Structure 1
Amino acid sequence: MSTPRGICVISVPKSGTMFLSRYLEKRTGIAVVFGLDAVGPPGLRRQLQPGWNEEIRGVRAACSPELEVMTRRFALMLARNRSQAQRRHDAPAIVSDHGFSSFLRFLVDPRVEDIQPPQEVCAWAAARDLAPVFLHRDLRDVASSLAHFLASGKSFLVTIRSLEDAADLVARLYAPVLAAQMRLWKQEARALGVLCVSYEDLMAQPARCIQEICGRGGLPCEAQGLAAAPENYRSWTYRARRSDWANAFSSRQQSALRELAVMS
């Protein structure tokens, strides 16, 4: 890769994606693009074949959108800021993605085989002179945040009918895939030149982490104001503490998640 002109952030879902995106946009003045590539509703619909995992389908809330609505909404998210970013291929850029061949399919039917190989993502980034960054978070906090998020009605893609059902799905279906993703990226990071950043460090030392991320991608970043309270940049779906376990996961589920966290 030649001199980097930006970064490609791969973030584990619910590990602070929106927080980091908002922080980077504020500090650099560069609009973040979500998704490695733009895909329209027809292409997204094809990615979702054959459809819902039956266990997830069975506990969807009545307000949870059908696949056609999901693809239209997600396509709009992928299109945001993209035309602006594509005007000049040498302009500074920030791309954010969750590292799955299809994030929608992960929501609909989470499978380990849909984890996009780090080598492929890094090759995509290198071809565009983007430095790869991997954002991760303690799996137990990811699980807690994801369960509450799915049951809260805040998601415009999938809503589960109760917190109990969401916790069950997260512990059995989603968390094992996310643990495998974290383990894979951490194993490959050094060889691929990936900067790994934990959400915990990002919250504790925002100035150091943001400067390191921007420095890796050759992005402008004024030091003044970087120590501002991270709370200013949190997204509206943010959940901070693992204490949410008390009203989400059973003792057995917590034990399973602890084991997965150790392996991730």
Structure 2
Amino acid sequence: MVLSVPEEEQEEALDTIPAGAPRAHESVIVSPEMTILIGRGPIGEAATPADAFAIAYGMGAINAPATLTLVGRDQVPTLLAEDAGATRVVLLVAPNALNRIGGETRPEAGERRGFHLPTELRGIGLALRDCGLSGEAGDIYRAAKAIELLFETWRLLDAQVLSPVAGESDLSEADSLRLVQARSLIDERWNEKLSLDGIARQCGLNREKLTRGFREMFACSVAEALSERRLVQASRMLLTTNLPVSSIGYENGYMNNASFARAFGRRFGVTPSDFRAQRLAA
């Protein structure tokens, strides 16, 4: 239950963000592994679980999309020092909490990633933010919603279905989702004869928006993503099968052995035959 952990155990598990900025509008310690902060920021003196990462939920406003921001532990002080411009919900979460919910995605210490906030998560976040209950009843309600929000967020993160926010791009959420679809198409159908026009057509984008948006969102071109997927799979097949090099190249989308050997050499620094021989000899 909320706040049922003895105070001495809470003190052992919690660090404190140094003072110097205004406090959060509201703060609820769910357990030694999670704290809820509700406010615009900057936020100071927040009870923070040891090694905590943070998830910030911006509910959106006029000319501001609803977003989810995931930051690793080294970025938490920066996040809390920001003025978000509107009230948001921030969850400070210890890594061990993910073990309890079976979460697989783990933010790196210096990582910061932004996503469009889907409707189902926004609904939970708004219920948590706008809770009208006070006292212990309000704390219990918000703690329950925070646990639900954490669980549902990680379900979507692990499924890789959240749509990334592409920096300062003017891409809409709908176009961002289409770009995620394009990346999924490459990951799932890499061994087929895929073309830029064909991918754009299947995902409902024009060629220019696919080319520009894909690079903004994934920091590589469509051709580079496709080549990487094919070559990694080819490298695995060289080590785990006895198929001829030419057959492996063909199965991974290369129409002739010369083009496969050139691409493989650029990626791994050796020919496919030498790659196989060196790894097997080792």
The reply to whether TM is greater than 0.5 is no
TM-score (norm 2): 0.23
* Larger Cα-atom Rg: 2
TM-score (norm 1): 0.24
Query: Which gives a bigger RCO, structure 1 or 2 (Cα 8 Å, sep 6+)?
Result: 1
Q: Comparing both structures, which one devotes a greater share of its residues to strand? A: 2
